[in-house]
């Protein structure tokens, strides 16, 4: 069976980085975001690599696969894991920020790059969703919108409309607890 992951960029590898094993939630393992996976080895790698869940098999941080992302975004350096999700005609850049460095995304060169990416992804009907612990922030070209604390399974909807040369957004949090009643 072939590995369904996209190929990594030449010269890049995870090495000792395993930040995704902490920051990314894995439903198949019932591992929430921001907790170390019990299968993660201390200096990177996975104890169950050959039998790891499909979510892990198909995940690659964008620093590994996207040649347009600079070396400064290496996760242990930036304290962030980037993951682009494309669903039909919409794109979502998910940025997982290590809660131990909650302001890393506001530092340069990261913040100005996130703003530039927000302009580009907005043109493609997408958003940048930033996660710091349970806090969710949407990074837009002209502002950052703090949507508050989210629990596993919570989602949000949004509407956007053109106002002059800019887009305006309305966000609505959809709590899993409220939707199951």
- Could you tell me the residue ranges of all domains in the chain? 61-179
Q: What is the pLDDT of residue 47?
A: 93
pTM (two decimals): 0.88
CA quadruple 174, 34, 88, 148: dihedral, nearest 10: 30
Burial of 117 (0-12, 13-18, 19+ CB in 10 A): buried
| 120: preceding bond cis by omega (within 30 degrees) | no
On the question of pLDDT at 115 being above 60, the answer is: yes
pLDDT grade for 4, boundaries at 50, 70 and 90: very low
State how far the Cα of 69 lies from the Cα of 120, in Å rounded to an integer.
14
3-state secondary structure of 151: coil
Query: How would you label 96-105 residue by residue, b for 16+ Cβ within 10 Å and e otherwise?
Result: bbbbeeeebb
On the question of pLDDT at 132 being above 90, the answer is: yes
Could you read off the pLDDT of 65-114 as tens digits, one per residue?
A: 998 999 999 999 999 999 998 877 888 999 999 999 999 999 999 999 99
pLDDT grade for 127, boundaries at 50, 70 and 90: very high
């Amino acid at each position: 069976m072939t590995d369904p992951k996209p190929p990594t960029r030449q010269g890049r590898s995870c090495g000792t980085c395993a930040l995704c094993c902490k920051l990314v939630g894995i439903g198949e393992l019932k591992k929430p975001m921001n907790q170390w996976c019990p299968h993660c080895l201390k200096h990177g790698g996975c104890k169950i690599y050959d039998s790891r869940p499909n979510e892990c098999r198909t995940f690659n941080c964008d620093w590994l696969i996207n040649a347009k992302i600079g070396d400064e975004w290496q996760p242990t350096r930036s304290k962030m894991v980037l993951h682009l999700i494309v669903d039909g005609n919409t794109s979502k850049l998910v940025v997982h920020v290590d809660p131990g460095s909650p302001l890393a995304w506001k530092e340069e060169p990261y913040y100005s790059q996130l703003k530039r990416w927000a302009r580009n992804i907005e043109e493609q009907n997408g958003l940048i969703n930033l996660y710091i612990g349970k806090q969710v922030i949407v990074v837009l070209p002209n502002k950052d919108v703090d949507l508050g604390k989210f629990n596993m399974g919570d989602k949000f909807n949004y509407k956007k409309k053109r106002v002059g040369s800019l887009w305006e957004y309305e966000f609505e949090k959809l709590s899993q607890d409220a939707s199951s009643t």
